[in-house]
Amino acid sequence: MSLRTREEKPSAARLRRPSWRDPRLLLGILLVLGSVTAVVTLVQQADETTDVYAVHRDIAPGAPIRAEDLRPVPVRLGNAGDLYLPAAEGVPENAVAGAVLREGELVARSALTTPDSLDRKPVGLRVEDPLPARTEAGSRVDIWAAAPNGRNGFDEPRQLIEAAEISELSVTESALGANRNTELLILVEDADLPMLLAALSNEAKITVVHNPAPGS
């Protein structure tokens, strides 16, 4: 009877405890710490608020911006913070509204300008015909003029200005309500000023027609 030679099985390799000096362990720890730090930073930035100016009451285009017209409010703007006027900077000197600023809205830097930079001038008009109920500061109107013809009448009206912006609007009535006049401040571009001023000086009949332009 032959003896079988039994093959010896190789012994299993023993698992070694990771050492603090193992570079792979150190790299993993650094990655975890970096991820945690990034998350904490993002959360903190999301919770940060900045005091920026909001409009306290409506401001007409071309009107000066005063401190009492604004109020600071804390908001979370993130990367859009540079687009708005921070309260820490204060109100810029000689700033005027470049467009209608509505009560409650944040003041964008682009909405402010200086009087010298305005390419539109306010011109006062008084009209007797009523305007649509929703016509207000910021609305757009077309301005028509009919020149007097010397025969107790007026020539056919012609359009002088299209889509001019209303800066201010007020309605006055007589004591008994018999007469009703609407007084407007219209922002007129420099190129259109001569025509409008000539019509006013010649006592032309001015008619203002609401223009449903976008945003009006």
Q: How much is the pLDDT for 20? A: 57
Write down the pTM of the prediction. Answer: 0.58
Query: 4-13, 38-47, 49-58, 84-93: which range is least confident on average?
Result: 4-13
Whether residue 33 has pLDDT greater than 80? no
* Confidence band, pLDDT 50/70/90 cuts, at residue 72: very high
pLDDT in tens, 77-110: 777 778 999 999 999 998 998 888 889 999 999 9
Confidence of residue 40 (pLDDT cuts 50, 70, 90): low
* Secondary structure (H, E, C), 141-171: EEEEEECECCCCCECCCEEEEEEEEEEEEEE
Place of tokens 């285009």: 61
Residue with the larger pLDDT of the pair 88 and 172: 88
> Would you tell me which CATH number, out of the four given (3.30.360.10, 1.10.3720.10, 3.90.1210.10, 3.20.20.140), belongs to the domain 50-115?
3.90.1210.10
- In angstroms, the Cα distances linking 170 to 15, 36, 50, 94, 132 are 89, 60, 37, 26, 13
* Secondary structure in 3-state letters for 39-57: HHHHHHHHHCCEEEEEECC
**How far from the centroid of its chain's Cα atoms is residue 48's Cα?**
22
Count CB neighbours of 164 within 10 A. 25
**Residue 192 DSSP SS3:** helix
Q: Quick one: pLDDT at residue 190?
A: 87
- In 170-215, where does DSSP find H-type helix? 193-201
Q: How far is residue 136's CA from residue 159's CA, in Å, rounded to a whole number?
A: 21
Where in the chain are the domains?
Answer: 50-115, 119-211
Position 62 confidence tier, pLDDT thresholds 50, 70, 90: confident
Higher pLDDT, 177 or 48: 48
